[in-house]
Structure 1
Amino acid sequence: MQNVLTECSYTVDDAVTAGKEQMLTKTSLKERGWTDALIRKFLGEPDVLRPNPHYRSAPKMQLYKIDRVIDIEQNEAFKAALETARKRSETRKKSAIEQAERLREYIRNLKIEFPVWSKQRLSQEACDHYNRLWRNTEKRATPQSSEDFLSRISVNFLRHGLTAYDMELYLMFGKIGSVEGRVLLKARILECIAETYPFLKDECERQRAEAWGNYYYDTWYDWHDAMSQH
């Protein structure tokens, strides 16, 4: 069982001062194994609410007296509840890992094939597809458009128009691992496009790098935003 505060000293960084009393943030409690449910059940409302020192627009920091936390952590009922929460968390994590891996395996095994057309025909098909999408606007594509533009709309046409990409995204929505899965699916399709049409390799690589870059940025931003809430 994970050590609690009574069994392991905390550092100055773990605590903040409110008046003359040492306090723990909600984040510090969670690092000790506390869950939201345990906090609600055993601690209840925070002892002090303080404006977030890093983000003024963020919710106020929830602070809890260290002495009160220590007293509760000595309670046998709390220790039992903490152990139950730990086991439940481990079970959920294991299940999530297994589900995410199944999704990765599914994407790896997808059969993705494209018709082999001439560059001229592919460009025309891509232009027709683009013009249908933007028919109610002034945007138009022609085989005489710039090479970069034609490469981009050709890759997009192959991905959206000739695969089940959008349906797969729909079916994937809300599943564990779907955030990563969306990028893996796009990367897999781009890889197949580049293999079928080598002249689109640079555009496929650009879109693949962009997709992974957005994924890592969004993942970091979500974590950073969650941390600012506490």
Structure 2
Amino acid sequence: MAESLTSADRERGERHRAYYTLAALRARGWTPSMVRDLLGGPDAQGRSPFYGAAAPTRMYSIGRVEAAEGTEEFARALAAAARRSAVARQAAARRRQEVLDRIAAEPVEVPTLTRDDLADQAVRHRNRRDRERAWDQPDHVPRPAVVATTDPAELARWQVNYLRHRLTAYDALLDGLYGGAGRTEAAQLLRERMYDAIARAYPELAAECRRQLAER
């Protein structure tokens, strides 16, 4: 249950309603350089009535902000910021399409192993990862597995995991995309291509590839 506000909290809240914070200015279209050039220093510094321990918030008088927003200088700065934003979005869109095209065109070479070798390497990889867990989780007790006693469905999962690990070099195709929907879309396309390549190289693992892709 939220604690009730004290009179001091309410006073701080009233003060906040007389000012715009930087977050509020950003929502109105202000950029950091516009704040610096058109407003200069803050008119007050305060703390949120709900997060009193947080760092002081720079606040700008509503009257001064709205007066600045009525000037030609603000209109020019806002238009310039909009142009820069549009250019940045276009550049990001071009970069995203370039990455998607490269992912779609890149040949995916899956290691070719015999069934026995793949099973052996997959179990070795699983055991190594199991041991590594103990480094981060002291209460984890590694339990080495062997091919002969591993459930076929579990073995198929480990085999796909191992092959996907062998293909991690292709993750470099995502370089240059940082966060946002563009990287999410590119990462999904790359996963689809990886699992499709594994399924083509090892048809017996196709069902497991589909299962893992659906989970992702």
**How does the TM-score come out when normalised to structure 1?**
0.65
Identity %: 31
- Between 1:44-53 and 1:129-138, the stretch displaced more is 129-138
- Amino acid aligned to 1:168: Y
Q: Deviations over 1:61-98 (max 9, x none)?
A: 54432211111112222222221111111101110111
How many residues of Structure 1 are paired with residues of Structure 2 in the alignment? 192
Which structure's relative contact order is higher, taking Cα pairs within 8 Å and 6+ residues apart?
1
Compare CA radii of gyration and give the structure with the larger one. Answer: 2
| Counterpart for residue 168 of structure 1 | 170
How far apart, CA to CA, are the structure 1 residues paired with 2:94 and 2:53?
38
Go from structure 1 to structure 2 and tell me whether the alpha carbon gap of 1:187 and 1:63 turns closer, same or farther (over 3 Å shift): farther
Does 1:140 find its partner at 2:138?
Answer: no
Pairing of 1:51-66 with structure 2 (within 5 A): 51=48, 53=50, 61-66=57-62
C-alpha displacement at 1:160, in angstroms? Answer: 1.8
| Counterpart for residue 64 of structure 2 | 68
- Amino acid aligned to 2:48: P
How far apart, CA to CA, are the structure 1 residues paired with 2:39 and 2:116?
69
Structure 1: gaps spanning 5 or more residues: 1-15, 212-230
Question: Contact (CA 8 Å) 2:45, 2:56: kept in 1 or not?
Answer: no
Structure 2: gaps spanning 5 or more residues: 1-11, 135-141
Could you say what secondary structure the match of 2:80 adopts? Answer: helix
How far apart, CA to CA, are the structure 2 residues paired with 1:202 and 1:195?
11
How far apart, CA to CA, are the structure 2 residues paired with 1:19 and 1:93?
37
Question: Contact (CA 8 Å) 1:38, 1:81: kept in 2 or not?
Answer: yes
Pairing of 1:5-16 with structure 2 (within 5 A): none
Pairing of 1:146-161 with structure 2 (within 5 A): 146-161=151-166
How far apart, CA to CA, are the structure 1 residues paired with 2:102 and 2:22?
38
Does 1:187 find its partner at 2:189?
Answer: no
C-alpha displacement at 1:115, in angstroms? Answer: 5.5
Question: Contact (CA 8 Å) 1:52, 1:61: kept in 2 or not?
Answer: no
Question: Contact (CA 8 Å) 2:46, 2:58: kept in 1 or not?
Answer: yes
Question: Contact (CA 8 Å) 1:52, 1:59: kept in 2 or not?
Answer: no
Pairing of 1:78-117 with structure 2 (within 5 A): 78-114=74-110
- Between 1:115-124 and 1:149-158, the stretch displaced more is 115-124
Q: Deviations over 1:26-45 (max 9, x none)?
A: 33322322112212332334
How far apart, CA to CA, are the structure 2 residues paired with 1:37 and 1:59?
21
Q: Deviations over 1:136-168 (max 9, x none)?
A: 88553321223343222211211122x3x2x33
Could you say what secondary structure the match of 2:159 adopts? Answer: helix
Q: Decide which structure has greater helix share.
A: 2
How far apart, CA to CA, are the structure 2 residues paired with 1:132 and 1:21?
58
